[in-house]
Structure 1
């Protein structure tokens, strides 16, 4: 053996392998660990679903036309499929095969990140072929190269809606950015928004992967599979199809609760629940309301009721909804307008156009509007959301009215299938647990804290359930138009 051969750096072969796997994480994950040995004795390689994800990334990078377009992958699954292992393997691939790689990993809580996600990813680094290249700490992994330690790194950042600035400066032009979300279903929507706006570097490989159990059927993780599905590559993985999961326990869950139960959907099948634990109106019911198609003859005998929910804050909208029997539609959705006279004129025009039998206005910000309407000779009703309900089973009037929407939907109520805002408003609100058993709906402020918009369209529709309304019939007396209320009993007949 020559002296030059004896002096060969063993890192050279590793570096050559890493360079060859730059666009091929699937190959790297098979070469960088001693599969079938030690802790991996029972595993001959990554699981099938992990190979699938790695293959998607490889295909994306191998194509020069897609390489520098952001790749977004969402994985919803049951329990025990090996999400943390996949994050560990991908993190090690990016750090090993790319110079100055930047990886940011977050989870729903600091406890989850510090005690579960980070240690699991660190384990895959320590056992990797390149384990000696990196310094694995509790909340970061850095290259040991002293000239690159601050630019070649993975950071574990416990973000919340009050700490979204960690994305500021997340740039790595010309190299790679890997962004990983663990327990994505519980990560605040504001964090998603910041992530979306931050990953904008040109000529940069940007990969954003989110993992989670589908515990909620609202929020941004849910929308990866619905409203924003055109942006994401989606995978929903049944735990029963993955080697290494406790098949007997999973089958017991199915036997005890049923294949289509929400518990089995979430914990086993990787499917979103029909109704979250605290959700008031289920997605299933809202979907049915979207699919209802009514002929005029099925509702035009009923009174026409208009609900008006004025905007509360600058980013809210003033919403005006109409309901006639099982039919509903949005009449207006406009930016906040503090000119009460202008808003009153709009309502009056819509009232006349649709020959409304009643107009109900949220009293919170609607007193000036109703006062302006009184000057016009209008008889609109102010409804206090915090007022006393007719049904003692509800905490307040707002809860009772939204309860009316729920009953209306179950009775066959129809909503516009193209009105995404109304749909999201309907499935968004959750109930608040109470010792007295009364139904309480979370406030608009609480919904905003969860990252959801104020459900103004729902509140406008709910106002159409504020009070019983009788249909009027038009008549003329002394040449002046007027109305008579239709009742079941007319004492003057």
Structure 2
């Protein structure tokens, strides 16, 4: 006759297990899972282990945050009777792909360890939940996306052992976090928020500042720098430091909030310097021509069509071969030329440029201009900069090609790799380029908010700056202009090799 399976509270080993591990998530990680905790992870475990803890962690890359949260979820569920753990985030698919995958791995680590018996009481489900067998309705961990409706539902859950975890908390709605925090009324209720900063405001930012213990609040705020993590190599840190700008370094590596000035891609001072540096590409170098175009209707509306003639060399945004751009001429900046004839104007302006590549916005009316240029056998690069980036490093860094191009252009301006050689439309260009808003997504990727949103502060469509930024798109290449470097075949091979290196990680 089969032996009846014991429920977890009936197993005599469980009481001793709880006595040893319920007060220390760190001891649980080391002895039950068999993992070695870093100093940052031990700091986190120590904070969360305290009754009625409120813990806020601002973290750079590679600090072991996901592994830590997975350990805390299982520690809380296995050490406290009828406990409930609620995980909330903006992106449920990402939560399933990362955290819940790590929770599954952690259960298997437990199963192979000295307390493997307790893993038999845990059931991890495909719907991003886990539960204690035999107590499915009252003893579990579950995930909910963060919105007002689910916040009220989660806040309606009460119990002696309740833990709420907010992942990428800087992006969660303030009303959600306020509601959840206010619902934790019992002595042993806990809350943990982890994130990279995406803004200098909001509930998460407040837990790191005015709501922190140091400022008289109840939140234990911690900052985890990638430089203090044993999980990130020195070589990786050096590479990332060199590729990021100041704000990215603060957010992605140091675990700090972006500077107040970061709301714009670049300052007016930087924009004005573009006009003072003169030639930055030597005639003897293997450069090429671009003719860029941002297309409006041409019916006297607010938006304008822009055509820019550009000299360009290099690829990428770091190192000695990073892209350099000279704005040579702005032939057109108008709302008086209809889109159906704009291609003729572009071809006329570029007729004397050897090997010119036409880089044109193909969204909306621009598709007709692209087709007209192609029908005339011109080299055309269609711009769809709402699309995601191609290179993996840029996919991880930017929301889309628009953010990538505008950020690379701003960085080039700051580093002296972008020069404007014409005085035409100077005031317009300075005003547009210095007011492009920059924010961060829930994954700390750089984004440019939708046009006419509040972040634009009333700025009209930056058509001229758009056309210049096209030159910095990661997938825009150029043809080396004849006779400007000698040995055309060797130069073409050199450019092709550099382009191949730039896309080696695609």
TM-score when normalising by structure 2: 0.48
Larger Rg: 1
TM-score when normalising by structure 1: 0.49
Higher relative contact order (CA 8 A, sep 6+): 2
